Chain A
Amino acid sequence: MRGKCGLFHTSYASETRFFQSGFQKLSLGLFLVLLLCSPFFLSNYQVSMLNMINIAVIGAVALNLLTGCCGQISLGHGAFIGVGAYTTGLCTLAGWPFFAALLFGGLVTAVVGMLFGIPSLRLKGIYLAIATLAAQLILSYVFLHWTSVTGGAIGMGLDAPVILGMSLDNDAKMFYLTFGVAAASVLLVANILRTRHGRAFVAIRDFHQSAESVGVNLFAYKLQAFAVSSFLAGIAGGLWAHYTMYITPEQFDIMLSIQYLAMIIIGGLGSVLGSIFGAVFVTLLPEFLGVLAQWAGSFFPNISMYFLALREGIFGLILVLFLIFEPEGLAHRWRLIKAYWKLYPFAH
């Protein structure tokens, strides 16, 4: 008999692969090809949305590693993204090559993240959330008032990134950069999660006392989670800064932190795929609401005005609805859909 049914592993290595069946690899490959060709047939505006999604994916995956996997709530990621943005911006203004500046921005953010992660040794849950909220407020204050470095409320103007002499001055060129970095970040986080560090993170989340009794150094690993997570947040910030080419302190306020938390809650805590879903969902939500407002405007002429004011409220409402009806996030829904089609049409 030819062919096989189900998965059959003959080595441990094959069992730890990300994509276990040929169909998975094929469909992912086709999707990636489609995505990489998309700048050729999408409008500039649509490609700019893709760029924003790519950047959000990096930030969401980073926050999910810290909050979803290691259980350390961070309300400071908006500010960490800001640290990365300003540091990278300062470096490129000083004439550094783009990638060196980006990496340095990540490293500085990692150090800042570790610094604000120190209270995590003693604080848990809501108390840690407050401690990281303090980080957010302190850093916001620094962005606004350290005028000689950050430009204060006026902001900081930047140039488009230049890589190997090529200036990435439009959305399509920028897309390949943001996409590449986003894919690399996702891969790094997925790798961590299948090795001893990722397991130690989840162990700390699930039962920190027994994590300690199997030999996990709680403090060191919490700090590592903060470091890796802030590093990636800093990278996201650096990309964002050079994509918008202008940064001001308001971009990195508490709303951004909450937005990222919303992404990982909507996507699914502790799931890499969920972070991607959440980033896509939250980035596209305002667009979707805008379209809805326009459509409703054809019936009720003035509604788009009210709709705009209601935007934040609707965002909050959707978050609450997700917490009630889909507490495990879009990733869980995705698994259910996959399971359904696996057995289709013999559901029982």
Chain B
Amino acid sequence: MAMLEARDITLTFRGLAALLNVSFSVEQGQIASLIGPNGAGKTSMLNCISGRYHPDEGQIALNGRDMLPMAAHDRVKAGLSRTFQNIALFKGLSVLDNLMVGRHVRLDYGLLSSLFYWGKARRSEDLHRRRIEEIIDFLGLSPHRHQVAGKLPYGVQKRVELGRALAGEPELLLLDEPMAGMNLEETEDMARYILDINEEWGITVLLVEHDMGVVMDISDHVVVLDFGQVLAAGTPAQVQADPDVIAAYLGSENASFIGR
């Protein structure tokens, strides 16, 4: 059974269909990519999975559990984490606190414990800090640990956001353009992190990305969206050879006739 199963997702905004009968699946342990030209509905699809948007029709299941009735904040507990296309860090918090917020759902002490900082709160803060430090080491964020996130360079902020998503211990990680706006070295680092997360920590990854070099290199499975519909799906080699995909990205000879 596939880990993530999206079936016949239709999302409309006042009658305008952003997604139309989109179906695809992501297998456990894969790195899957969602690609397509601008406005194809990639981020909308990600928002449907993470709970920001509510599709009009269709089903989304994670490990066989229906996700759509769940509120966005409950989906994190079900094993979902995401990053955003534009940096969406908590700018007033330190890097460490950003990651600790990412662990919010794994900490389970109550408000009273919090008020008095007794027993359970104290113990679980220490316990979870240990895991957070592993993520900080993994992403090379130690020099920035206590700095305010809003003042860090762009590339570092992107890494902090990845770290925050990892802190929730996801089974499926949704990454919305993790390489956007990065230079070559930073892109390579990020690709390496994604591969490590997938191979060493066994986290399944669903990626939205425009950098085709990266997508084709690291993906096991690629889904191509165009005008809110699935154009093609398969291994990177299959997708590259697909005439519809080539037409969507490069145009086809008779493009001017069909009006695209």
Contacts of B129 in A (CB 8 A): 12
Chain B residues, CB < 8 A from A198: 114
Q: Which chain A residues border B69 with CB–CB below 8 Å?
A: none
Q: A206-B90, A206-B92, A209-B88 are in contact. Are A197 and B82 (CB under 8 A)?
A: no
> Which residues of chain A have C-beta atoms less than 8 A from B104's C-beta?
196, 199-200, 203, 214-216
Q: What string of 1s and 0s marks CB contacts (under 8 Å) between A1-14 and chain B?
A: 00000000001110
Residue with the highest number of chain B CB atoms closer than 10 Å, among A11, A198, A199: A199
Beta-carbon nearest neighbor of A199 in chain B: B101
**In the complex, which residues 112-163 of chain B have their Cβ closer than 8 Å to any Cβ of chain A?**
113-117, 121-122, 125-126, 129-130
Q: Which residue of A lies closest to B91 (CB)?
A: A206
Q: Give B83-124 as 1s and 0s: 1 = Cβ < 8 Å from A's Cβ atoms.
A: 010001111110001001110110101010111110001100
CA distance A25 to B73 in the complex (A): 40
Give chain A's interface residue range (CB within 8 Å of chain B).
Answer: 20 to 34
Complex contact A214–B168 (CB within 8 A): yes
Q: B90, A216: Cβ atoms under 8 Å?
A: no
Residues in A with CB closer than 8 Å to B71 are 217
* Contact assessment for A12 and B125 in the assembled complex, using a CB-CB cutoff below 8 Å: yes
Chain B proximity mask over A194-215: 1 for CB below 8 Å, otherwise 0: 1111111011011101111111
Q: How far is the CB of B152 from chain A (nearest CB, A)?
A: 14
A180-202 at interface with B (beta carbon < 8 Å): 188, 191-192, 194-200, 202
Task: Judge whether B52 is part of the interface by a CB distance below 8 angstroms.
Answer: yes
A228 on the B face (CB < 8 A)? yes
Distance to closest chain A CB from B92 (angstroms): 5
The reply to whether A210 and B89 form a contact with Cβ atoms under 8 Å apart is: yes
Nearest-neighbor residue (CB-CB) of A18 within chain B: B117
Quick one: closest A residue to B123, CB to CB?
A13
Q: Does B17 contact A (CB under 8 A)?
A: no
Given contacts A203-B101, A218-B73, contact A196 B89 (CB under 8 A): no
Our pick among B72, B81, B111 for the contact of A228 (Cβ within 8 Å) is B111
- Chain B proximity of A112: nearest CB distance (Å): 18
Size of the chain B interface, CB-CB below 8 angstroms: 42
Give the docked Cα–Cα distance between A198 and B90 (Å): 13
Q: Does B76 contact A (CB under 8 A)?
A: yes
- A214 partner, pick from B102, B115, B125, beta carbons under 8 A: B102
Q: Name the residue among A194, A198, A200, A213 with the largest chain B CB count within 10 angstroms.
A: A213
Name 23 A/B residue pairs within 8 A (Cβ), A-sorted: A13-B122, A13-B126, A188-B115, A191-B117, A192-B115, A194-B117, A195-B109, A196-B100, A196-B109, A199-B97, A203-B90, A205-B92, A207-B89, A210-B89, A212-B52, A213-B81, A213-B88, A214-B164, A214-B165, A215-B77, A215-B104, A216-B73, A228-B111
Interface residues of chain A, those whose CB is within 8 Å of chain B, are 11-13, 16, 188, 191-192, 194-200, 202-203, 205-207, 209-218, 224, 228, 270
Given contacts A207-B88, A213-B51, A213-B84, 8 further A-B contacts (CB under 8 A): A191-B116, A196-B114, A203-B101, A210-B90, A213-B81, A215-B74, A216-B104, A217-B71
